Structures are given as C-alpha cells and as structure tokens.
Chain A
Amino acid sequence: MQRVPRWSIHLALVVICFFMLIPFYWVLKTSVAGENIFAYPPSLVPKDPHPFYFIDVWYDIPFARFFLNSVVVVTIVIVLNLVFNAMAGYALTRDFAGKKAILFVLLSCMMIPFQATIIPAYLITAKMGLLNTYLGLALPEVSHIICILVFKANFEAVPKSLVEAARIDGVPEWKIVYKIMLPLSKPAIATNIVFSFVWTWNHFLWPLIIISDQDMQTLPLGLSYFLSYFEDTTGALYAFCVMVLAPTVFVFLMVQRQFIQGLTSGSTKG
C-alpha cells in the first residue's frame, strides 16, 4: 500500500487550521479596530489598530472583580473535581456488587441536561445557605461524570501488579490513589483541569440564578452587564470576549498534550 507523503498531510492540516482560526482572528481584529462586523467589503487587516477597547472594558465595568470571582470559583471547582473524580474513578476500577448498576446510572445521568435539574439544585443550594457564595457557584460543578470515566480509563491502564504490590506492603487505599495512581495519570488530571475549567469559566445560567449581588458576578454574567452598559459595543464587546477567552486558551495551551493523551487513553487496546 502506498503511503501518503507527510508534506501533503501537513499542508492539508495547515489549510484546515487556517479556516478554523478565522473566527478567532476576526474576534481579535475587531477587538483592536472596532470595525462593524457587517461592514462591506470586509477588511482582512485591521485599520488603525489600538488597545483602547480593552482599556474601556477594564475601567468601565468592574472587570477585575468579575475576573477574580471567576478565578476563585474555577479554582474551587478544579481542586474538588480532582479529589472527587479521582476517588470515584478509582472506586469504579474495583470489583464490587452493583458496579454495573452504578455505571449504568452514571451513564444515564449524562443524558439529563443541567437545565432539567436546576430547580432542585437551586433549592438544595438555598437550603444550605450558599446563595451568593463562591461555594454555591461551584457546587453543581464539583464532579463531572465524563471526568470520572476519564480517571477510570486511566486507572485501568495502570498495571494491576503495582497496586497489588502496594496492598501487600500494607499501603492504604487513599495512599494508593495519591501516591501511585495519580502520578501515573497526568493525562487524566490535565483532562479534568481543562474540562472543569472551561465548563465553569463559561457557565452562565447557574450564576445567573443564584447570584444577586453584583460583587459576586462571574465573567459570563459580566458580559450581560456589559451589554447593558455600553452604547457602542462592537469593539469593546470583542475586546471583552478576548479578555474572557484568553485564560481558557492559556490553560489549554499549557496542558494540551496531556489533555489529548487523556482523551485517547483507553481508546485503543495493546
């Protein structure tokens, strides 16, 4: 069978990347030029680029406060996700009665949209006195079923002999997870970080429902506040989007290799 030359694959990938990056480029271009998106003919190169829309966003709305709120919530979510998902993932690698039923329930729950559970989630959060708090914002995000399954797949790839040797040496189960499983599951950790970061960073509906204090608003809520504040929004709106998007892109670039490994681990045998 004749192999496809590598350069042709790279060329195709470059072309695909070019088209996929056009929306990002467009957002970036508009954020520094403020050109109307409906302008015809559209200009590919920004005319008189300047950073003033970013400065307007920084000063005209409490961006730093919204940013801090998002960072605090995301940090809580990432830490709790790693703890809970790793524990749940490890438990699911063990054999116990009802394991298949639990897996079935978990997989079934993935089909229920968050919007369907938002009223009970709100009532529970209110009963716990967590409305308008960081913990209340983080609560529905502290564990994700997909992330549990990613951990499970990674833990199952760890040789059983390692775990058995640790047990023979009398190592407790929590230490097996912490000292053996997690150091060998960096891709799963990276995947957990990226997923929980992106989902929480972009969450709009939940903060909208439980936050009434403006000082506790996160960035997606800040966007709606921003739209009601600015009259001429095109450039500033895109600048705001770039400022919201930048941390997500940064986190992804930092852990992209492990993230892709984490998603593909367990997808092939051998």
Chain B
Amino acid sequence: MDLLRALLFNRATLSLAALAVAVGLWNVYVAAHDDGLLAGRVVGPDGRPVAGAKVTLLQQILVGYERIESTTTDGRGAFRFTRHNQHKPVLLAEKDGVGASARTPVRLYFRNQNRVLAQPLRLDRN
C-alpha cells in the first residue's frame, strides 16, 4: 500500500498526470473544432462586398505556393471552405476588372481549425 502511494503521489507521476490531463483536454477541444471551416468576406477597394470573386486556398511550399482549391464569393461577398486540412493556409482573392488581394496567410492553432476571418480580403491590387 505504501509502495503504491509512493508510486502514485510523487512529483514525477503527478506532473506527468497533469500533463496528460492538459493534453487530453486540448485534444477534446481540437476534436470539437476541427471541421476545417474557413470563412470570410471579400471587399473591393471602396470597402463594399464583391460578389463573384474567386478565392483560392493556397499552401506554402519550399519553392512558392501550391493551389489546394478555389471557391467563389456569394452576393454578400462571403466565401467558405470546408475541410481545408491546413494549419497555415494562404488565401488569395481576385476578380477581373476589380483587382486582387495580397496573399494572406491565416495562422491556425491546429490543422483543420474552424476560423471565420475577422478582416475581409481587400481587392486593391491591379
């Protein structure tokens, strides 16, 4: 009994247990938020929503960027990707006659994290 108590209640075991609990909680959080939803808006140089803009999801590789998939904004300038499977996706929006946005990296805390962008992608480069 004393041996069991000594094995269970010592610094190393308690520290590892605390670490295991923290990792477990983090994984529960990740499992609840990893649908891969990435949503945002595209606006023009005047700040008004741009419908029909092409938004491309890119992945940074050693020699540049690789296209993952593309979507088009709706009437309110909103776009949405599902199952992006990235932890640092890069977004690029463009529309003929209006311009293109800068490549915008989105930093996520884990792969496939759900994220709605607070700032819209602005088409201001021609």
Report the Cα distance A250→B11, complex, angstroms: 11
Does B110 lie at the interface of the complex (its beta carbon under 8 Å from any beta carbon of A)? yes
Report the Cα distance A229→B62, complex, angstroms: 7
Q: Which residues does B use to contact A, with CB under 8 Å?
A: 11-12, 15, 62, 87-88, 107-111
Using C-beta atoms within 8 Å of the partner chain, give the interface range for chain A: 10 to 19
Q: Which residues does A use to contact B, with CB under 8 Å?
A: 50-52, 55-56, 59, 229, 231, 250, 254-255
Pair B62/A52 contact, Cβ less than 8 Å: no
Q: Can you name 6 A-B pairs with beta carbons within 8 Å? A: A50-B107, A52-B107, A55-B88, A56-B87, A59-B87, A254-B11
Pair A55/B12 contact, Cβ less than 8 Å: no
Pair B107/A59 contact, Cβ less than 8 Å: no
Q: Among B11, B15, B62, B110, point to the contact of A231 (Cβ < 8 A).
A: B62
Pair B110/A55 contact, Cβ less than 8 Å: yes
Chain A nearest CB from B105 CB (Å) reads: 10
Chain B nearest CB from A64 CB (Å) reads: 12
**Would A52 and B11 be within 8 Å (CB), given that A59-B111, A229-B62, A231-B62 are in contact?**
no
Report the Cα distance A229→B108, complex, angstroms: 20
* B109 surroundings in chain A (CB, below 8 A): 51, 55
**Apart from A50-B107, A55-B107, A55-B109: 10 A-B pairs, beta carbons within 8 A:** A52-B88, A55-B87, A55-B108, A55-B110, A56-B87, A59-B87, A229-B62, A231-B62, A254-B11, A254-B12
Q: Which residue on B lies nearest to A251, using beta carbons?
A: B12
* A50 surroundings in chain B (CB, below 8 A): 107
Q: Which residue on B lies nearest to A59, using beta carbons?
A: B87
Chain B nearest CB from A188 CB (Å) reads: 17
**Would A254 and B107 be within 8 Å (CB), given that A55-B87, A59-B87 are in contact?**
no
Report the Cα distance A34→B111, complex, angstroms: 21
* B111 surroundings in chain A (CB, below 8 A): 59
8 tightest A-B CB contacts, nearest first: A254-B12, A59-B87, A52-B107, A254-B11, A55-B87, A231-B62, A59-B111, A55-B109
Chain A nearest CB from B63 CB (Å) reads: 9
Chain A nearest CB from B59 CB (Å) reads: 11
Chain A nearest CB from B83 CB (Å) reads: 16
Q: Which residue on A lies nearest to B10, using beta carbons?
A: A254
Q: Which residue on B lies nearest to A228, using beta carbons?
A: B62
Chain A nearest CB from B60 CB (Å) reads: 9
Pair B15/A250 contact, Cβ less than 8 Å: yes
Pair B15/A254 contact, Cβ less than 8 Å: yes
